[in-house]
Amino acid sequence: MAGGQGAEREISLQSGLAVQKALRASGHCVTEIDPLEKGWKLPSNTEVVFLALHGEYGEDGQVQSWLETLGVPYTGTGPEGSRVAFDKELTKQVFEQNVIPTPRWIMLANTRALPPTDLGEGWVLKPPRQGSSVGLQIVDAPDQWHEALAIAGDYGGPVLCEELIRGREITVGILDKVALPIVEVRPKDGPYDYHNKYTVGATDYFCPADLPADTAKRISEISLQSFEAVGASEFGRVDLMLDETLNPYVLEVNTLPGLTETSLLPKAAAAAGLDFPALCGRMVDLAVQDHVG
């Protein structure tokens, strides 16, 4: 299942195409469904729904709730964990409740808000219920604030404002309660935004990331803690920043991470010895096991 109505539709279709090829190469019979219209129906012989959806409807728990009522196994996290992880405000609250290190933050009610003076110099603005860095704005100076806030606010509702952590950007893939090798992302120009995520050649990737062993161990432990705290299961990805002294700050948990040519979870799985068809097959197996369990 790929596509849908959200802002990440095109990326979801790319993920879906990659997954279809991988599953068919492994001998699975695959039917494609695009839930662009909510009256979609599953084929009568459906054994597992592989969710390659991103963003609204796919990651926010809606489609998971419907599949639960149908009694059909599906890949990834359940309705409640999906709902919490997709909402950046709820995720931040869970991090604070579980003493998980995360950048300081506030919610801004409207695009007329002034720059917060208690979050340091430099801010990150995000729509709280979008993924794939949709609407992400990095603000290095106060004179950039109002334009950036207007862009982030274009998606409706309040805007999440975080302190800007200057350092290295990393991500940790999770598969069946195991943290995969850490991936470091280094965009060649600008922040790791929508363009740099999905443009081939725009970003350099290093996996496993060049980190001291004790730092890597701590990052993996914090990532697993974050994943479990929001109620995620089976597989996903935890995004973090490292400051100049390698202290980790968790940004968010992705319950249906991208599965495209430039996506990070497949890179981490490959570093662990799991090629893309094997990764997709493992996701199917986990869906069946969780449903039976």
Residue 198 falls in the annotated catalytic set:
yes
51-74: per-residue pLDDT in tens? Answer: 999 988 999 999 999 999 999 999
Residue 282 falls in the annotated catalytic set:
no
Residue 92 lies in a domain: no
Q: Does 176 share its domain with 249?
A: yes
Tell me how far CA of residue 279 lies from CA of 123, 142, 215, in angstroms. 36, 44, 26
pTM: 0.94
Residue 98 lies in a domain: no
- 145 contact partners, CB below 8 Å, separation of at least 6: 114, 115, 123, 139
Residue 98 falls in the annotated catalytic set:
no
Residue 3 lies in a domain: no
Q: Does 184 share its domain with 157?
A: no
Percent of all residues in the chain with a pLDDT value above 90, rounded to a whole number: 79
Residue 148 lies in a domain: yes
Range of lowest pLDDT (12-21, 125-134, 177-186): 125-134
Q: Does 184 share its domain with 274?
A: yes
Residue 56 falls in the annotated catalytic set:
no
Q: Does 153 share its domain with 175?
A: no
CATH of the domain at 129: 3.30.1490.20
Q: Does 173 share its domain with 193?
A: yes
> Which pLDDT score is estimated for 197?
76
Q: Does 118 share its domain with 198?
A: no
Q: Does 205 share its domain with 126?
A: no
Q: Does 179 share its domain with 283?
A: yes
> Which pLDDT score is estimated for 224?
98
Q: Is residue 89 within 8 Å of residue 162, measured between CB atoms? A: no
Residue 229 lies in a domain: yes
225-276: per-residue pLDDT in tens? Answer: 999 999 999 999 999 999 999 999 999 999 999 998 779 999 999 999 999 9
137-172: per-residue pLDDT in tens? Answer: 999 988 999 999 999 998 878 999 999 999 999 999
Q: What is the mean pLDDT of the chain?
A: 93
Instruction: State the total domains in the chain.
Output: 3
Residue 169 falls in the annotated catalytic set:
no
Structure tokens at 157: 């509702």
168-222: per-residue pLDDT in tens? Answer: 999 999 999 999 999 999 988 887 777 777 788 888 999 999 999 999 999 999 9
Q: Does 13 share its domain with 55?
A: yes
- Give me the catalytic one of 55, 58, 78, 258: 258
- Give me the catalytic one of 163, 198, 220, 249: 198
Q: Does 179 share its domain with 241?
A: yes
Q: Does 196 share its domain with 250?
A: yes
Q: Does 72 share its domain with 129?
A: no
Alpha helices in the chain (DSSP H): 9-25, 62-70, 79-86, 88-97, 145-152, 194-198, 213-229, 264-271, 276-292
- Give me the catalytic one of 87, 163, 169, 252: 252
Confidence band (pLDDT; 50, 70, 90) for 132?
low
Residue 140's domain comprises 105-163
- Give me the catalytic one of 9, 83, 168, 237: 237
Residue 186 to residue 203: CA distance in whole angstroms: 6
Residue 96 lies in a domain: no
Which of 147, 163, 179 is the endpoint of a domain? 163
Residue 96 falls in the annotated catalytic set:
no
Residue 74 falls in the annotated catalytic set:
no
7-16: per-residue pLDDT in tens? Answer: 889 999 999 9
> Which pLDDT score is estimated for 261?
74
> Which pLDDT score is estimated for 293?
60
Residue 249 to residue 222: CA distance in whole angstroms: 9
- Give me the catalytic one of 81, 254, 263, 281: 254
Residue 110 falls in the annotated catalytic set:
no
CATH of the domain at 58: 3.40.50.20
Residue 194 lies in a domain: yes
- Give me the catalytic one of 59, 169, 234, 239: 239
